[in-house]
Chains A and B, each alone.
Chain A
Amino acid sequence: MPYFPPVGGSILPANSIDNTVLADMIAARIKGRALGAGLGDPQDLTGAQIAAILNADPGPGAYPLLATLVAANSTSLDFTLFDNAKFGKYVIDFVGIKPTVDNAQAYLRFSSNGGASYDATLNYGAMNVYGTVPNTVNGSGGWGVDCITLTPGIGNTWTYNVIKIEIVVDTVNGKTAALYHCGSLASGGTFYNTRGSAWWVAAAANAFRLFPSSGLFVLGTARVYGVPK
C-alpha cells in the first residue's frame, strides 16, 4: 500500500527521534548552524565556529575574545576592532612580556581614528603606586603626559610579567578611562606592582597601542575581550 507523507509536516511523530538514531558525531562538537552559513541542515560545530557565534551575539555574562595579539620582536601591539555600540568595556590580559631593552617601560596610547594615528600629545594622566624590594612604597604620576606608563620597568630576563588593563569608553561625553594593574620584575630585583588610572580627554577611543619605552617586545601575548553593554 503506498505511503503518502502529510503535506507540510513530518512523516515521523513528534518527540520520536532520540540521540541514538542520529549519526555519530566527532568528539567536542555541538550541533548548530555556523555563523553566515544561511538556512540549512544542522551542522556539527567546532569550538572556533561556536566562538564566532558568541562573538557576534554575546549573551549576558559572555566576554568574547576579540583578538589575540602576539609579540614577536614587535614595535607595538595594536588593537583597532573596537565596537563601542556593542561593548561597554574592553579587558586586556597582557602576559609573558619580555622587552629587548632591559627595564623598558610598557606604554599605552589611544586613537580616535581607528588606528590611523595614536595621540602622542599631553592628553594623558596617570597615577602609579608601586613597591620596591624589600618594603618601600612609592608613588608617582600626574596629568599632562604623552602616554600612560603601565609599569616603570620590565626586566628582560623573565617572561612572567603581567599587565591587566580595563578600558571604558564613554561615547556620550567622548572620554576614555583605563584602569590597570601590573606585576613586573625589573632587573636588579625591584618588583613593580602598579595600580593606576588614566583619562584621555580628547574623544572616545576606538583603538589602542601597547609599546615599550625603548626597543621591541620580544615576547608577550595580549588577549582582548569585550564586555557587552
Chain B
Amino acid sequence: MSLTRNVNGVDVELTPEEEVEWENQQILDAAAAAEMQAEQAAKEAKEAALREALELFAKERGLL
C-alpha cells in the first residue's frame, strides 16, 4: 500500500524518498516514546521505593 497525503483536497502519493523519510520518522518517534515511557516508569518506581522507605522509617519510630 502506498502512502498518500491530501493536498488541497486531492490525494497525492508520497515519492519513494518521502516514504522512506516518513518510515524513518515513525521509528524515531516510536523510540522517543518508548524512552519517555521508560523514564516515567523509572521515576514512578523510584517514588514508590522512597515512599516505602519513609513508611518503614516512620513505623520503626512509632510515628505510624
Contacts and interface: CB of A to CB of B under 8 A. Distances in A.
Given A75-B14, A75-B22, A80 B7 contact: yes
Contacts, number: 43
B3 A69 contact: no
Given A75-B22, A214-B26, A81 B6 contact: no
A155 to B, nearest CB: 16
A75 B7 contact: no
Interface string B7-42: 111010010000000100010011001000000000
A115 B7 CA distance: 9
Contacts of A213: 29
Contacts of A78: 5-8
A166 B64 CA distance: 56
Interface in A170-213: 213
Contacts of B14: 75
Contacts of B8: 67, 69, 78-81
Contact of B30 (A72, A79, A115, A214): A214
Contacts of A77: 5-6
Interface in A63-96: 67-81
Contacts of A131: none
B7 A215 contact: no
Nearest to A76: B5
Contact of A214 (B9, B11, B33): B33
A198 to B, nearest CB: 21
Interface string A51-73: 00000000000000001111111
Interface of A: 67-81, 115, 213-216
10 contacts: A69-B8, A72-B11, A75-B4, A75-B5, A76-B6, A77-B6, A78-B8, A214-B33, A215-B26, A216-B3
Interface of B: 3-9, 11, 14, 22, 26, 29-30, 33
Q: Which 10 A-B pairs have the closest CB atoms?
A: A78-B7, A76-B5, A75-B5, A214-B29, A69-B6, A67-B8, A67-B9, A77-B6, A74-B6, A68-B9
